[in-house]
Chain A
Amino acid sequence: MNIIEFSLLVCVSSVLAGFLGSLTGLGGGIIITPVLTLALGVDIRYAIGASLVSVIATSSGAAAAYVREGFSNIRIGMFLEIATTLGALGGALLATKMPTSSISIIFGLALLYSAYASSRPRHLHLGDCRPDPLATRLKMNSVYPTNDGPVGYCPQAVPTGFSLMFGAGVLSGLLGIGSGAVKVIAMDQAMRLPFKVSTTTSNFMIGVTAAASAGVYLSRGYINPGLAMPVMLGVVSGSLVGARVLAEVKTKWLRIVFGVVIAIMALEMIYHGVTGRL
């Protein structure tokens, strides 16, 4: 297999990664990393660099569409981003002192449960929700577009969400992946945001978090142009399609797709913890 064939293969899987990543707010890394390491035998460090590029590409590619549609909530994203970036700094410091393999297994098991919890439909009384005082002071109440016109929502449990975001940051610093999952789950389950608002706001946040660590990975030589090129081109096109589909798709289906992707991710984490690969 020469470089042209290799690039084509990587590019095609990256389209799928970008599509699922932008739809679920998880970034493309969950697909890219196993495809590169397990199927194509790429060294894990190159795969990590490529996965980082895929996260930024998914985030920015899809966000251009989401911002205009009015799904993502910039204030919520920006406020929670403080917790995530601080957590990521802390996690990176801890990474050398903690047994990441057992953390990986525990996190994988927790994700399996979340896959089940978040794929179930949740009945919300949107529009006439009771604003939370703290969320109101932080100007987080907003509206998002639905097929029946704009619907209002009021975030709940801001402190819980903020703490979970800190945890998400620590995890991403420790393990490299998994922060997108915690972000969506925290906004969906704890803060009670509409599912599409959760996934698109997470999509905004993962790009910022990934950009923060890009400098380190670049200087360590993890970001290889030959590998990052097909990943980036594929992911950008996939994420543009994902962004279009998101506006149309029913939340019920979105939750099921999210649940399946999270379950795959959970198995990856457990596999990683047990074998030390991926």
Chain B
Amino acid sequence: MAGPTRRWTDQVVEKWIGNLLRAGVTLSTAVVLFGACVYLGRHGHELPHFRIFVGTPKDLRTVSGIWKNVLAFKGQGLIQLGLLLLIATPVARVAFSVVAFAVERDRLYVVVTLLVLAILTYSLMGGRL
């Protein structure tokens, strides 16, 4: 009765989550790799400067600032964009799981996953974790 149907849905969900993760990782890696070529091509022969902490430039710390750097075709901006996509991947996975559990009519886990998503959003919004 419910057994085979649930199994089938579980597998479909797993396949979709797998595809989502793979797409997220592939896309972010491609963007970082592209940014790396631009960055290393322009600054590759300079000296690294990570011994003393001055902090990443202010315009590479916010989504809007990063986007401006991407439009200006800056290597560092492209890398940060790729990293943003990477950070978004697990968040998207949790969000997608809410939908997946809803499709499976698993109300308990819809609630559980929504709770995780809420805490996640709260700390991402700078809820000072």
Residues of A within 8 A of B (CB): 1-4, 6-7, 36, 40-46, 49, 53, 56-57, 59-61, 63-65, 67-68, 70, 74-75, 78-79, 81-82, 85-86, 88-89, 92, 138-139, 173, 207-208, 210-216, 218-230, 232-233, 236
Contact = CB atoms under 8 A, between A and B. Distances in A.
Contact of B123 (A6, A213, A221): A213
Given A226-B48, A236-B29, A213 B129 contact: yes
Contacts of B124: 211-212, 214-215
Contacts of B103: none
Given A68-B18, A92-B128, A225-B56, A53 B86 contact: yes
B82 A232 contact: yes
A78 B90 contact: no
Nearest to B51: A41
A82 B80 contact: no
Interface of B: 14-15, 17-18, 21-22, 24-25, 28-29, 32-33, 35-36, 39-40, 43-48, 50-53, 55-58, 60-62, 75-77, 79-80, 82-83, 86-91, 93-94, 97, 106, 108-109, 112-113, 115-116, 119-120, 123-129
Contacts of B56: 49, 221-225
26 contacts: A7-B44, A43-B50, A49-B56, A53-B83, A56-B89, A64-B21, A70-B14, A78-B116, A79-B112, A85-B119, A88-B129, A89-B129, A138-B108, A139-B106, A139-B108, A208-B116, A210-B90, A212-B120, A215-B123, A215-B125, A218-B61, A221-B55, A221-B58, A227-B50, A229-B36, A233-B29
Contacts of B32: 229, 232-233
A246 to B, nearest CB: 15
B15 A3 contact: no
B35 A139 contact: no
Contacts of B90: 56, 59-60, 207-208, 210-211
Kindly list the 4 A-B residue pairs having the minimum CB-CB distance in the complex, ordered from nearest: A221-B55, A225-B79, A64-B21, A43-B53
Given A212-B124, A214-B87, A225-B75, 18 more contacts: A3-B43, A3-B48, A46-B50, A46-B53, A56-B89, A64-B25, A78-B94, A82-B116, A89-B123, A89-B129, A207-B89, A213-B123, A214-B124, A225-B77, A225-B80, A225-B83, A229-B36, A233-B33
Contacts of B109: 75, 78-79, 139
Contacts, number: 196
Contacts of A85: 116, 119-120, 123
A89 B127 contact: yes
Contacts of B87: 56, 211, 214-215, 218
Most chain A CB within 10 A, of B25, B57, B82, is at: B25
A226 to B, nearest CB: 7
A68 to B, nearest CB: 4
A226 B39 contact: yes
B68 to A, nearest CB: 14
Contacts of A232: 28-29, 32, 82-83, 86
